[in-house]
Amino acid sequence: MVYVLQIDFKMEGPFGDEMADSFAELARSINQEEGFRWKIWTENPEANEAGGIYIFETKETAEQYLDMHTNRLAEFGITDVRAKIFSINSKLTEITNGPIN
């Protein structure tokens, strides 16, 4: 089974290309996390929100990453982190072209 970790939080920026430039090293480091498959980076500059949708191999690796990332965000002063972990229904996701296999 594969798991989705959904995270969002308030952030004053940067967004867009500036965010991409500022967080490129962080993005590369996420690729090294245990059980990590991929991430979609999310942002809403109008609401000052950012986050992501992550795919992990196991619920345990998603939980481990969430703990580590929540602590990292707290170091940046971001403490109101909203997160959920879901299992993925692979059969239905395959029908709708979800890239999980």
pLDDT digits 0-9 by tens, 56-89? 999 999 999 999 999 999 998 998 999 999 999 9
- Tracing tokens 């480091």 back to the chain, one arrives at 29
pLDDT for 99: 84
Q: What is the pTM of this model?
A: 0.90
Q: Is the pLDDT of residue 101 over 80?
A: no
pLDDT digits 0-9 by tens, 18-46? 999 999 999 999 999 999 999 999 999 99
Q: Is the pLDDT of residue 100 over 80?
A: no
Choices 3.30.1330.10, 2.60.40.10, 3.30.70.100, 3.40.50.2000: CATH for 3-95: 3.30.70.100
The Cα-based distances of 48 to 1, 9, 41 in angstroms read 33, 8, 14
